[in-house]
Structures are given as C-alpha cells and as structure tokens.
Amino acid sequence: MSTQIQKRKLGNSGLEVSAIGLGCMGMSFSYVPFPEKKDMIYLMHQAVEKGVNFFDTAEVYGPYVNEELVGEALAAFKDKIIIATKFGFNIQDGKMSGVNSHPDNIKKAVEGSLKRLNVDVIDLLYQHRVDPNIPIEDVAGTVKDLIKEGKVKYFGLSEAGAKTIRRAHAVQPVTALQSEYSLWTRDPEQEIIPTLEELGIGFVPFSPLGKGFLTGKMNETTIFDKTDFRSTLPRFTTEALKANSALVDLLGLIAKNKNGTTAQIALAWLLAQKPWIVPIPGTTKLHRLEENIGAAFIELSSDDLKEINEAASKIIVHGARYPENLLKTTGL
C-alpha cells in the first residue's frame, strides 16, 4: 500500500488538502487527561510524513494553547501544509464566554492566531459559530478585508445554516463549511450538502467518528470521567450507547469483508459521499492516526454503500448531539 494519501479539492476554491485531515483539539482541550506535548509534536510530524497536510485548530481550544502547540509542531513544514483555525468567541480570563464575531474581535483574533501559529498568513479561517448579533455580511466583509491585507487566504464557516452560508458567500466566497457529519449525525444531508454542492463549497466534517463512538471501542459499560466532555452528552448515556450499538455492529460487518476496521469504514463512507468532503478525525494516538489514514485507501462499492444506507435507515439514533443549553454556544 502507498503510504501517501491522495488529495482532494475543497469545492471550487482550488484549495487542495489531504483526503483525511487531523483535528488537533483533543491534544490540549476537552478530552482530559492531555498527553505530553512532545508526543503530540511527534504525532503531527508523523502525520506530515504519512501525507496528511491539513491540520485543524482554533483560538478557543485551550484557549490559545492548542494553536501554540500546532504552531510549534509544524513550524518546519510551513510550505507543505494547510492550517485551519477559527475565531468567534469572547475569551476572558482564560475562559470562553459566548460568541463574538464583532469585526474588531475578528481582527484581534487573527493577529493572535498569526503569532501563536507562527505564520505570516492563515490558510483557512473559519467563523467558529454564527453570532446572532452580528450580520453575517459584516463577518464575511471583515474576512474579505483580511484576505486583501494578505493575512488570510480562505474563508470558512462552521455549523452555519444554508441561508447563512448563502449570505456569507455572496460577500466573500466561502471555501469550506466545517460541521458535524457522520453515520450517526446525518442532518447536513437535508439542506446543507445540496447547498454546498450548488455553491461549490467544500465540506469538512468534524467528529466523523462520532466523538469516538463509531470506532467500536465503546458500549453501554463505558464510563466517562466527569472531566470528559462526553459525560455531559445525551448520546453517551448508558441507555443511548446501548441503543446506538446497532450502528457500530453494522460497520463491523462491512469492516470484516473489507479487511478494515469499524472506524475505517465510517470514514470511508464519508469520503464516498462526495469528492469534496474531507473529514478531520482527531486523535492523540499514533496507531489511531495510521488507522484513520488507512480509511482513504478503502473503496466502498455502490453495493457496500447501499447496504450501509439501507441498514442505517432502520436504526434510530438515540440521544441529542448536545444538551439543549449547549447547542448554539459550544465551541466543539
């Protein structure tokens, strides 16, 4: 097997990235305990060696420390890689406190990100969450100015609705949308994916392995530490994990036939949906990184996809993605 992963273009923008990216959030945010910094630097170096050139971080992860980690780890590879980061939250006293996409806050965030990432220009800059208090046209216009100034190359949105995407795209072309999408979170199929296809925008699914669930390494006996973000999620209660295991069983059956793993089939399914979809599974473990990259080499036939879709359509996913109070504000 070739060790180099193939590339994909994010929509019509011309931005070319590895078919599987690396989400860096968990290296220093949300999933406690965090690994040693030197191990994460080694992991990112290994990712580059294996052909991954697309790395995802955000100002709010930490806050700040994740960008610093990514900037330090990838300093030697600047001309070979694409780093995506995000703005859009108030950060006070080292804590996130609600959305803020005021133009002044965007500019301030970008100056901070440039320093922490140790780069002259941000490759892909996402609005992390839509700010209901600032017109999206003002957000897109601010990023447009930053692109003209040479501080940003491409503009992205995260978890935005179809109307918001259209309004932003009319002011400054949107290169990519980053939202949750996987076999157990399929809401984007209704409105979002058709909109992206029409406008020529790439799709970057986060949590493509369902925050670890679709790896097949969890069941109803799994206990999450109270410091683990998943302990607060309705979809990770004992009852929900038990009810949702049918989805993992289905992936496991296909994996056996393909000589792959459950996680690889979940990622290969995403890659098979559209040629401009690039998932960004996060991991802190080298063997998981290798496993995720391996998904890009698994081809699912139309019969495989039909089998997965037919079986998945009979499985009702239990539990909401987030608790009600977090749905609009979470930075994950």
Q: Which residue, 99, 71, 117, 80, is CA-closest to 4?
A: 80
Closest CA to 246 of 188, 301, 183: 183
* List 31, 61, 126, 322, catalytic entry: 61
Q: What pLDDT does residue 329 have?
A: 52
For 74, which DSSP code?
Answer: T
Encoded tokens for 218: 């969890």
Q: Which has more pLDDT, 330 or 125?
A: 125
What pLDDT score was predicted for residue 228? Answer: 83
pLDDT > 50? residue 1: no
Task: Supply 213's token pair.
Answer: 């669930």
Percentages helix, strand, coil for the chain (3-state, rounded to 5) are 45, 15, 40
Q: Is the pLDDT of residue 153 over 90?
A: yes
Gap between the Cα atoms of 329 and 332, Å rounded = 9
pLDDT score for 331: 52
How far is CA 42 from each of CA 49, 73, 81, 154, 246, rounded to the nearest angstrom?
10, 8, 16, 28, 36
User: Tokens 């300093």 identify what position?
Assistant: 75
Q: DSSP letters of 159-178?
A: S--HHHHHHHHHHS-EEEEE
What is the spatial distance between Cα 305 and Cα 274, in angstroms, rounded to a whole number? 13
Compute, in degrees rounded to 10, the torsion defined by CA atoms 184, 187, 188, 194.
120
12 φ, ψ (degrees, to nearest 5)? -90, 5
List the chain domain ranges: 7-210+273-299
pLDDT of residue 4: 81
Architecture of domain 7-210+273-299: Alpha-Beta Barrel (3.20)
248 closest CA partner among 270, 231, 269, 263: 263
The verdict on whether omega for the bond into residue 63 sits within 30 degrees of 0, i.e. cis, is: yes
Q: What is the mean pLDDT of residues 113-128?
A: 98
Known catalytic membership, residue 181: no
pLDDT band of residue 258 (cuts 50, 70, 90) is very high
Contact in structure between 234 and 291 (CB atoms under 8 Å): no
pTM, whole model, 2 decimals?
0.96
Of 58-62, 94-98, 319-323, which one has max mean pLDDT? 58-62
| CA-based end-to-end distance of the chain | 34
d(CA 4, CA 229): 33
Closest by CA position to 254, among listed 298, 317, 292, 192:
298
**Inter-residue contact 209 to 289 (CB < 8 Å):** no
Q: Mention every residue, 6+ apart, whose C-beta is less than 8 A from residue 195.
A: 162, 165, 166, 201
Residues 272-327 have pLDDT tens digits of 999 999 999 999 999 999 999 999 999 999 999 999 999 889 888 888 898 876 65
Compute the mean pLDDT over every residue in the chain, rounded to the nearest whole number: 94
The stretches of the chain forming alpha helices (DSSP H) are: 37-49, 65-73, 103-117, 136-148, 162-171, 192-199, 238-258, 262-273, 286-294, 302-313
